[in-house]
Amino acid sequence: MRRLLHFLSGYQKECILAPLFKCLEACFDLLVPLVTADIIDTGIANQDVGYVMTMCVVLIVLALVGLSCSIVAQYFAARAAVGFSGRLRQALFARIQGLSYTQLDQQGAPTLITRMTSDINQVQNGVNMFLRLFMRSPFVVFGAMILAFFIDWKTALIFAGVIPLLGAVVLGILYLTMPRYKKVQGGLDQVLSIVRENLTGVRVIRAFNKEPEQQARFDGENRRLTKLQIAVGRIAGLMNPLTYGLINLAIVVLLYVGGIQIDAGALTQGQIIALVNYMNQILVELVKLANLIVTISKALACANRVADMLEVPQDMEQPQHPVTPESLGTVEFQNVGLTYQGAGGASLSGLSFSVQKGQTVGIIGGTGSGKTSLISLIPRFYDATQGRVLVDGVDVREQSAAQLRQRIGIVPQKAVLFTGTIRENLEWGAPHAREDLLWEALKLAQAEDVVKNKPLGLEEKVEQGGQNLSGGQRQRLTIARALVKQPEILILDDSASALDYATDAALRTAIRGMKNPPTTFIVSQRASSVRHADLILVLEEGHVAGMGTHEQLLEGCPVYQEIYWSQFEKEGSGHGQQK
């Protein structure tokens, strides 16, 4: 938790005023037993109704003032806790955004989501409760004991004996529960991972009728989490019965000793009532303290998880003095290899080729041949583990990642649109782009009709993930989004898979016909999508199986021949010879 305290900077006033007002409230609470004792010993003993009424008014005033102090304390505590969690969540989100693809793969989305939501909420609740009770409860406990000594020091020794026992119970349960709460949060990660995986792959699960297996898998992980929570709950649940038992035992001893003292004339009835009230106040505060300890235990476990995430070092070093090359749009691979962290073998090896400005490169190969891995090296989503990747003649590791990616337009395999309007989604490519640029990009992406047929045009709402659009519409809009930024290098990673052949061909023709066409990389499973490229790379198990034009590969590359003829034989039976 100490690693996160700097996020409270700027809230020092709230962190001081919240516990101070709570202590002020506690002062008024501690006066109540003394007033009650005075009512019994003076007002009731002398049958002075006027005095009793006056003291009752005093009790009401004490309650109202204490309530006001409590409300003020709650305001300051909530302000500090919410501000703290807001800063922490923002810092964690920024940290996650700065992680490399390799680190995101290692951490996994479920644990990142849990730390962003559940963990930070637990930490916020812990800070709030800590500011409200960490001073008040001990203040009341020791204040009640001190006032008990003022009433009668011999009887007050009972307080001195029971408070250390209660402290030992609280600390012991804290020691036992803290590591277990950390395991509970880890179990929550696993449950969230399964839920997210099932929601993402729900179509596949239903297609293969795997609902029973996935249900059994979820039930097993859920039962494991339930057992962890029950185990830690049983330990934490001992807090209340143990504290109540000790306090009630102390009250029994107090009444016994007090009765003897009253018979001896050393104490009055009102003083015994005050002592019992102080003992009950200690009980209430220790119960609050016990609940605070449980909350703090959870918060500390979650805070450590968040802090660990914030301290994950970046594995992709940024250059201290980045080189900004002249804008050319050239790309060169020099004996490039890539091995993913933890992988058994290389995903890419021995890649060497160069592409000039405005050329089109087609990348084709079987599933798992390394096509997406290859194009991920150009914007430096991953670092090559062997060789160099040069953009405009400069190694991508010597360039600013932000500036490099600003010059590259990327359309990923999965067409992802965000909640908002079509205009807002297109402006991800170029914020505040002119209207004519948006329509030009839509026209190039063959999406002009899609937008014009919408009642609101560019202001048409897009649901999360583009669920209110078809697959082909989503792909065309994501291509338009990349074209809006007018990139020097355009990467289409199998981004036309949902388009028909005619639309796919029209898209490629439109890009080639641009006034200043970008250097284009087309990743596709379709031979027809890459056959007109200036250079075609045929990948097989991470190696270049062939390189050249369509005609050259059709003559001398067996892998390309197999892909091409298998597709055209299939297409010829249903669609004719697609070109």
Question: Hey, what domains does the chain have and what are their CATH numbers?
Answer: 2-310 (1.20.1560.10), 325-407+489-579 (3.40.50.300), 415-486 (3.40.50.300)
* Cα-to-chain-centroid distance, residue 96: 8
Q: How far is CA 261 from CA 13, 255, 332, in A?
A: 47, 10, 96
Q: Please state the length of the chain.
A: 579
Looking at residue 1, its pLDDT comes to 65
Cβ within 8 Å of residue 246, ≥6 positions away:
162, 165, 166, 169
Tokens of 23: 């202590």
Q: How many whole angstroms separate alpha carbon 536 and alpha carbon 550?
A: 7
Looking at residue 542, its pLDDT comes to 86
Tokens of 1: 């938790």
Q: Which residues of the chain have pLDDT under 50?
A: 570-579
Looking at residue 79, its pLDDT comes to 94
Q: How many whole angstroms separate alpha carbon 163 and alpha carbon 279?
A: 10
Looking at residue 440, its pLDDT comes to 92
Q: How many whole angstroms separate alpha carbon 15 and alpha carbon 84?
A: 11
> Beta strand pairing status for 489-493 and 519-523?
parallel
DSSP-assigned beta bridge partners for residue 539 = 365, 544
Cβ within 8 Å of residue 10, ≥6 positions away:
83
Looking at residue 570, its pLDDT comes to 46
Which of 448, 441, 445 has its CA nearest to residue 427?
A: 441
Burial (0-12, 13-18, 19+ Cβ within 10 Å), 230: exposed
Q: How many whole angstroms separate alpha carbon 412 and alpha carbon 111?
A: 24
Q: How many whole angstroms separate alpha carbon 349 and alpha carbon 252?
A: 81
Sheet-wide strand order for 543-548: 408-411, 489-493, 519-523, 360-365, 535-540, 543-548
Cβ within 8 Å of residue 204, ≥6 positions away:
210
Looking at residue 572, its pLDDT comes to 42
Looking at residue 574, its pLDDT comes to 40
For 515-549, the pLDDT digits (tens) are 888 999 999 888 888 888 999 999 988 899 999 99
Looking at residue 569, its pLDDT comes to 64
Which residue type is seen at 1?
M
Other residues' Cβ atoms within 10 Å of the Cβ of residue 156:
20
Looking at residue 3, its pLDDT comes to 78
Q: Give φ, ψ of 171 to 5 degrees.
A: -65, -40
Tokens of 579: 């070109």
Cβ within 8 Å of residue 170, ≥6 positions away:
239, 243, 286, 289, 290, 293
Which residue type is seen at 426?
L
Cβ within 8 Å of residue 67, ≥6 positions away:
25
